[in-house]
Amino acid sequence: MANLALGLHGGCGTLDRSLMSEDDWAESRQHIAQALRAGWAVLKADGRAIDAVQATIMVLEDSPHFNAGYGAALTENFDHELDASIMDGATLDAGAVTSIKRVRNPIQAARAVLEGGKAVLLTGAAADQFAEQAGLTMVEPDYFTTQRRIEAVKSLKQRALTGTIAKASEAEKHGTVGAVARDSQGHLAAGTSTGGFNNKPLGRVGDSPIIGAGTYAKDGVCAVSCTGQGEIFIRRVAAYDVAARMIYGGQSLKQASDILVHETLASHGIGAGMIVLGAQGNPLAPYNTLGMYRGWIGTDGRMTVATHHDLYELGDA
């Protein structure tokens, strides 16, 4: 029997604390805790790691505080193209969707692709149609839109006109959610979901739906979900690189993930973060930005949530 563990991130693009009220920060931490409890309930009931990952991410997708599902980023045309992926470390089975517009919970669509067994990645209208035929909850595209994301796109468009786009914060640009879990049988799983980045070009696909770039899980090694500028994570095959460093380089989980975030990815001048979990032990959440929405329940069953440097210990899950 393995030690149960669960971790999540809600994106490394965290605002400066002064830019949101303390009530809003408290609500975001509350939603992180709710997501952790949803996944933990699965694990405590002797459920599978992949089911816990899905349950955790669905709560984050339903929260306006995170760039996935409801409250997701808008494209340059002020619409949504949503991406998600999920991977089972026991079998290496994986499923992903990209550029979908009508599935309420994209992580469910990714899971449906995995279960379908005929593809790893489906895209666009065909992915929406597949999800609908699978019986998933469908919504009108404007369901995902929030005023905060509209204002973010307007801000970025104005920065582009004034030549100050390079000064845009991570919070203005990016955001992703993800989760990793280890179940009672020692199996690992990982999943990631995102709206991409604000004001992104139509048809742009980042790392979140790419197995090995934004998501990876392999039993006995690690489970990884990434957040940051997806183009760099794709080029670095970042999620798989954590596993490769452990398997072939003999690095520990902490060494591998810290080097990637603070050296390899940071060398590109980007904000980066990830939630990682090994075959034993507790989740780790390295990041190189002002903050990263994150939380975990360790092998002792106690919950921790955070948005910036400070950790909030919430006691038994």
Query: Using CA atoms, how far apart are residues 22 and 250, in angstroms rounded to an integer?
Result: 43
Query: Using CA atoms, how far apart are residues 45 and 35, in angstroms rounded to an integer?
Result: 16
- Name the 3-class secondary structure at 243: helix
Amino acid letter, residue 25: W
Active-site annotation holder among 14, 56, 98, 176: 176
Known catalytic residue at 162: no
Alpha-carbon dihedral angle through residues 164, 170, 172, 175, given to the nearest 10 degrees: 150
What is the 8-class DSSP label of residue 4?
Answer: P
Half-sphere exposure of residue 262, counting CA atoms within 13 Å on the CB side? 9
Which DSSP helix (H) or strand (E) runs through 259? helix 253-259
Find, among 206, 209, 204, 214, the residue nearest to 85 by Cα.
Answer: 209
Query: Using CA atoms, how far apart are residues 59 and 55, in angstroms rounded to an integer?
Result: 7
Place of tokens 């009672």: 184
Q: Looking at the annotation, which residues are catalytic? A: 176
